[in-house]
Structure 1
């Protein structure tokens, strides 16, 4: 596991965004360090720049000099406001809650007599510090986001670019950590523009790295690579060791996503070297934790374990929960890979707990998925299936929340557009009425002109009414098109989850499923991305969608369920036709390799399927529970060798509770005869019915 977007990437760049660096475990007087040379008459940005540059790698001396400047600064001045803000952010990032809160309290106490605009800036800065503390110390991303939004609303217009940069970059960091990538990209673009206007080379480099992480999390790898290369070029020109370390760390993660393992290794070696040269312990711990992931993928588990074990105490000393999380997970994965399952699972559980405690459910889901992969390789098939199930449950929850937010955002947009149209029409009507009143005040001898004006006004009103009706018709058509786009996967053109839910509502008002359900997962898809690149992976998914369309009937529902998974719903079929369709889909997918430019990619899939209502008693099942059942069968196919399908036929299940118990322990249910599992092999072997797993 690496620090990665959306769950990890922001954490790697926390230092770049909010005045990087770690502080001692307790806010005591720091050891002496290099003095910042700033002339007494130097401009405020120069003093802040000197402290920020030093504080990224050596926060202790930076903190000492910052306090000296604060002690000498005039009360309620711009200088004192900026220094308190920087100080509070330093303490917040180091998870020093009491010290950070003291800075925020001093900013809260800013009097109106110092100037309303300055008091508003101080209040906004206090919110910014508390938001940073919620993200770093309290690990509460939802609260951090709320506080940042309040801070940006309180921030007056026209503040200096450097001051606004801190707010925007911090908000982008929080959005990235929360997995809200669209917002993160937008905010990090704004931060990059501000950084370029400010002109500080290391800030320009690190703003590019932040945006590269957001694009990486959104699977826009070429754009991420371009920004990463820009960050390296700017950092190299600046000769700044800290910026170079961070740029190489970014490059390593992006190159890993592109499948360039050698480039990945070189980048992390350079990142660690630059961090050590700069004395940046916080960065060194992150890069060590990230490099452990490279050695895990290489199969050098002992080296991976050593790197992660060296990173863990540093992360805990510096109160860096993200690096602690990655270190714990990689220690656990290394143990599991070396067949030390009990300690491995324990370390991974500690990593997942960090994400769950701070509400980073997307990160927890990702870790469960990786855990399932390692357990499967280690031969712990039951543990792998349990981890995959937990991943799916969390991922579905994150998706539902994202869908709800997207729907609300779309509705707000529609309402705002309608309100704008209504206000415009109302304003025009008011203008007409005002003109009418004006004309009535004219002299009596102009009555004939007034009559003509009234006739003209009536014509305008009629025209306006027609335009309102036309606008409403256009809006209705636009809304319909938006709904259709929102229910389609842009890559494959298939229905997405939202489209599936809409179809289920049309088919059954009570939410139960009627028909045969197949869940199809492309085998070793991560390996396809790693070896051939994400563009090739996307092409493989498009080809899978086309082959499924060619195999199925026009009225069958085909859904891109997420990632490399597809869902198929057909009318209830006889047992023979159900099995035959599963076999046809297996055969269609593996029939010929996918050709992407000069690359040949073999594609197979694992399938789980069942018919609903299910069982001898024709038990009606909500579609969510039906998906969970075939999902379990699909994972059984994956852990039993892939390129195969498992069909589930219920022999005993009187109610939802018993079905849920079977879903949670499908192999045990097959052992005791509650279900029969039909195995179909993609290699053309004869079907078999398994009584026991």
Structure 2
């Protein structure tokens, strides 16, 4: 797997599920959290009290009697005791849902009279949460419905009902619905516990849980600033009830977010605070969460030697706690570490241990992660058929959840793995699926950003119009006053008219200035929408519009030269030197590229570390000379870093002049770019740091050339496409 993708997957699996609905004070070990794409926190809250395991009949009987003894509870203290007892059952239900659900069905037997409203609410909440975590939709919905019926008499019941539905939807990976119910529960808890006065009726565990779900949602969408804000809210809830387990968990999750928000010092302080709180938990449950987040941080900091032993220690604690679900989810993180270390056999063993547990509990968020990791391991071990099947199964599950960013990362990982074992055709397919998905994501993101910018400018323009209207009203008032004074004293009236004229001149000048500023802002917005903010080159959108316009001017076929470049091993540069150095490398590449092209050529940042040049007038040897000059200009001179060090940067390149000789078959510009893209992938497969030029084609029709482009490698081997391969060493 690519390092950046491995960190993301470790991040996901290490900070898993919202499966644990309730969280209490330190207690005996319990089950783990389920994984979710692009999250920063484990989702299995620690237990409260000692969980009752299957087969422990005496404790179970005592627990039933304890429940029944609180059926006539009065006061906050008795309700707090009931909540703690409910939390212990919910914790046990994470690994043994059938036992706990059966016990809850038996609970009301033997009651001497109707129980209190609060007692019934806690029972139904516990039933709903246990069923939701186990994916038992019918039972969870029934419990949520009964809670909703109590809402007019108990406002906390409305919040509990929304929380149960949010947990169920999250378990079944109905992301949008889960978020909506979590927001509903958050608002309901805020109303029920208004003013910060948390009485015994207010369930801080449920409130903490829905805030965590919203935190994960923000992180999966890539909005880490919002995720950090929500995580801080969760930490404040934990601090108000002095819950060391929740604080250890939340602070270690906050440390991961702070690292990704480029605040390493704050990240270290938060992790140190998390460890101090974790040491106060005698069960070790808090320490498991801290260890998992520590492994995530180690991977993110490229301190890979520490990740594996940290996760193995977490597995040992989970196994001693008897939680097979928590152990399975930590094994998912370990499988990532094994893949990263080049140990596919060990990764597959970890997957095979964890996958049956996730299937048993219908863990729909972790299942695609494990299927994907297993598929990568099988491909690397030569089990291509099964490996490809597992990879496609994982992609289908992610598609159901609309996890587009995770699908793109998975496609890139599988393309690399397939290319490494020589399956070039399958690798190309995955590679181009990832490119298409990235284009969709970039397009949606760009449209959203442009929409926000336009709305901001419209708002500012409207505010200026309002200010002008107010000033005009003020002028009208002044004129009326002047007319009244004119009837009384002509001299004073003349003076006032002169003053009004002066004010009018000032206002007109200000109006002209405001209109000028508005036009400048609109011009700036247009320029910003056409340029890449990092490199200053044209962006993909502007380039596409320019090519489409030129094609319309020249007819149906695209005419001119194309040069497509890709920085070799760019992710390694980011991993070894940091993203700031990676950005500096892209800026320097853009500057060297701009120095090579001529007036009239269009150079753009095509996406990520790819650059594309259109030369309208160059073909043949002149185009080849320009392409090789660019290759040498970038690869022959080292790049100087800010600290004085130097690194070597090379490019893989493809170029072609259209229409291709000898038949002069024309193509639309999109297909021309796609054909050069195929040649670029061949340059990478041949070892990188070289140029591949499309010299000629035997195709004499557009359809024939399109068929050759669809299977580029075969067309090249069959001489339907003639290419010229020039390593950089041969350019001078």
Same fold (TM over 0.5): yes
Once the two structures are superposed, the pairs formed by residues 25-424 of structure 1 within 5 Å of their partners are 31=54, 41-42=75-76, 59=94, 74-75=116-117, 88=128, 91-109=131-149, 114=153, 118=155, 126=161, 129-137=164-172, 139-145=173-179, 159=193, 162=204, 165-181=208-224, 183-185=226-228, 187-188=230-231, 190-192=233-235, 199-211=242-254, 220=262, 222=264, 226=268, 229-230=271-272, 232-239=274-281, 241-422=284-465
CA separation of 1:74 and 1:153: change in aligned 2, threshold 3 A: same
Q: CA deviation at 1:94?
A: 3.9
Q: In the TM superposition, what whole-angstrom CA distance separates every residue of 1:152-196 from its partner, at most 9, and x where no partner exists?
A: 788877955757654443223123334455654554455456555
Q: In the TM superposition, what whole-angstrom CA distance separates every residue of 1:260-308 from its partner, at most 9, and x where no partner exists?
A: 2202223222332333344443332221111112222222222121111
CA contact (8 A) 2:13 2:332 kept: no
Q: In the TM superposition, what whole-angstrom CA distance separates every residue of 1:428-487 from its partner, at most 9, and x where no partner exists?
A: 777888999999999x99999999999988877776665555444434434544554455
- Give yes or no for the alignment of 1:642 onto 2:677: no
Deviates more, 1:490-499 or 1:289-298: 490-499
TM-score in terms of structure 2 length: 0.76
Q: Residue 18 of structure 2: SS of its match in structure 1? A: helix
| Structure 2 partner of 1:619 | 666
- Give yes or no for the alignment of 1:591 onto 2:633: no
Q: CA deviation at 1:144?
A: 4.2
Deviates more, 1:563-572 or 1:375-384: 563-572
Q: Which blocks of at least 5 consecutive residues in structure 2 are unaligned?
A: 24-30, 35-51, 197-203
Q: CA deviation at 1:363?
A: 1.0
Q: CA deviation at 1:367?
A: 0.8
CA contact (8 A) 2:159 2:189 kept: yes
Q: In the TM superposition, what whole-angstrom CA distance separates every residue of 1:196-223 from its partner, at most 9, and x where no partner exists?
A: 566533333433454555567x685848
Which of 1 and 2 has greater Rg?
2
- Give yes or no for the alignment of 1:559 onto 2:604: yes
Q: Which blocks of at least 5 consecutive residues in structure 1 are unaligned?
A: 687-693
CA contact (8 A) 2:655 2:692 kept: yes
CA contact (8 A) 1:134 1:143 kept: yes
Deviates more, 1:335-344 or 1:655-664: 655-664
CA contact (8 A) 1:295 1:301 kept: yes
Q: CA deviation at 1:655?
A: 7.0
Q: Find the aligned partners of 1:47 and 1:448 in 2 and give their Cα distance.
A: 87
Q: Find the aligned partners of 2:524 and 2:544 in 1 and give their Cα distance.
A: 17
Q: Find the aligned partners of 2:451 and 2:166 in 1 and give their Cα distance.
A: 24
Q: CA deviation at 1:665?
A: 0.9
Q: Residue 403 of structure 1: SS of its match in structure 2? A: helix
Q: Find the aligned partners of 2:123 and 2:284 in 1 and give their Cα distance.
A: 25
Q: Find the aligned partners of 1:153 and 1:418 in 2 and give their Cα distance.
A: 35
Deviates more, 1:654-663 or 1:636-645: 654-663
Q: Find the aligned partners of 1:492 and 1:665 in 2 and give their Cα distance.
A: 33
CA contact (8 A) 2:619 2:657 kept: no
Q: In the TM superposition, what whole-angstrom CA distance separates every residue of 1:390-439 from its partner, at most 9, and x where no partner exists?
A: 21122222222222222223333333444455556666777888999999
Cα root mean square deviation, aligned: 4.8
CA contact (8 A) 1:179 1:362 kept: no
CA contact (8 A) 1:621 1:656 kept: no
CA contact (8 A) 2:9 2:336 kept: no
Q: Residue 683 of structure 1: SS of its match in structure 2? A: helix
CA contact (8 A) 1:292 1:305 kept: yes
CA contact (8 A) 2:15 2:33 kept: no
Q: Residue 13 of structure 1: SS of its match in structure 2? A: coil
Q: Residue 722 of structure 2: SS of its match in structure 1? A: strand
Q: In the TM superposition, what whole-angstrom CA distance separates every residue of 1:215-248 from its partner, at most 9, and x where no partner exists?
A: 67x6858489547735743553443633322222
Q: Residue 559 of structure 1: SS of its match in structure 2? A: strand
CA contact (8 A) 1:646 1:680 kept: yes
CA contact (8 A) 1:144 1:174 kept: no
Q: Find the aligned partners of 1:531 and 1:613 in 2 and give their Cα distance.
A: 42
Q: Find the aligned partners of 1:128 and 1:448 in 2 and give their Cα distance.
A: 76
Q: In the TM superposition, what whole-angstrom CA distance separates every residue of 1:533-592 from its partner, at most 9, and x where no partner exists?
A: 445444443443343334334664433333332233333312112222222232233224
CA contact (8 A) 1:16 1:207 kept: no
CA contact (8 A) 1:556 1:570 kept: yes
Q: Find the aligned partners of 1:448 and 1:110 in 2 and give their Cα distance.
A: 79
Q: In the TM superposition, what whole-angstrom CA distance separates every residue of 1:63-114 from its partner, at most 9, and x where no partner exists?
A: 6799979x99754x6x9778866765664444332233234434544565x4
Q: CA deviation at 1:310?
A: 0.9
Q: 2:17 aligns with which of 14, 17, 26?
A: 14
Give the paired residue count. Answer: 671
Q: Find the aligned partners of 2:139 and 2:484 in 1 and give their Cα distance.
A: 70
Deviates more, 1:293-302 or 1:513-522: 513-522
Q: Residue 617 of structure 2: SS of its match in structure 1? A: coil
Deviates more, 1:241-250 or 1:260-269: 241-250
| Structure 1 partner of 2:571 | 526
| Structure 2 partner of 1:689 | none
Q: Find the aligned partners of 2:538 and 2:558 in 1 and give their Cα distance.
A: 17
